[in-house]
Amino acid sequence: GQNIDQPTEMTATEGAIVQINCTYQTSGFNGLFWYQQHAGEAPTFLSYNVLDGLEEKGRFSSFLSRSKGYSYLLLKELQMKDSASYLCAYSGNTPLVFGKGTRLSVIA
Amino acid sequence: KAGVTQTPRYLIKTRGQQVTLSCSPISGHRSVSWYQQTPGQGLQFLFEYFSETQRNKGNFPGRFSGRQFSNSRSEMNVSTLELGDSALYLCASSLSRTGKYNEQFFGPGTRLTVL
């Protein structure tokens, strides 16, 4: 079964900030990825965390706590084009184990 | 540099048939992974190939198989198709350099519908 969990859906307002959480359990851990996937398209890479702490990249930031098995993706200054699914995945003994994704809807 | 390409993009088959999907990785990438994506289960790992050898395998039945050629292109095959095999099949390639994280670049996917 799935040992990586994230909320199924979230809604946020244009211009606001949203945080998408991800929790995981694994014995072998090499890093935590976040991908964005627009409907009908392939996932595209957003961020990668291997050490604890916050990684910032423009409007997107990702945080990791290895001891807690916890990560979050922070999206600032939301735009309508940010409406998409956000996939959390850890790299362990297989290339990537994905969560089921969080569908984010940005509303005006 | 061209991205990951997958053919065909769409496919309709009937139960019991078999299907072969193709993936061409980014030039220079030696690792190719396959994933199945369905609304209920999300993205699930099928297998990974590196230098023509299967390096990792997910929890899928033996009806799902794959191979990689010397030019790193990969194919996956599904035999005796079942309705539940309807899904988006994604291929991803990476450099797979030792000691570095391997960002995976995804292809557009093949949408398989089994009737």
pLDDT (average), residues B34-47: 91
pLDDT at A92: 77
pLDDT band at B104 (very low <50, low <70, confident <90, very high): confident
Q: Which regions of chain A are under pLDDT 50?
A: 1
B77 close to B18: Cβ distance less than 8 angstroms: yes
pLDDT at A44: 93
pLDDT at B101: 62
Exposed e or buried b per residue across A28-43, where buried means at least 16 C-beta atoms within 10 angstroms of its C-beta: ebebbbbbbbeeeebb
On chain B, the residues whose CB falls within 8 A of the CB of A45 are 103-105
pLDDT band at B97 (very low <50, low <70, confident <90, very high): low
Residue A82 sits at φ, ψ, to 5 deg, of -80, -5
Q: What is the DSSP string of A43-75?
A: -EEEEEE-SSEEEEETTEEEEEETTTTEEEEEE
B37: nearest CA partner in chain A: A100
CA B110 to CA B11: how far, in whole Å?
7
On chain B, the residues whose CB falls within 8 A of the CB of A95 are 31, 33, 45, 48, 56, 92, 94, 102, 104
B68 close to B32: Cβ distance less than 8 angstroms: yes
Q: Is the pLDDT assigned to residue B115 strictly greater than 70?
A: yes
Put simply, whether B108 touches A (Cβ < 8 Å) is yes
Q: Do the Cβ atoms of B56 and A94 come within 8 Å?
A: yes
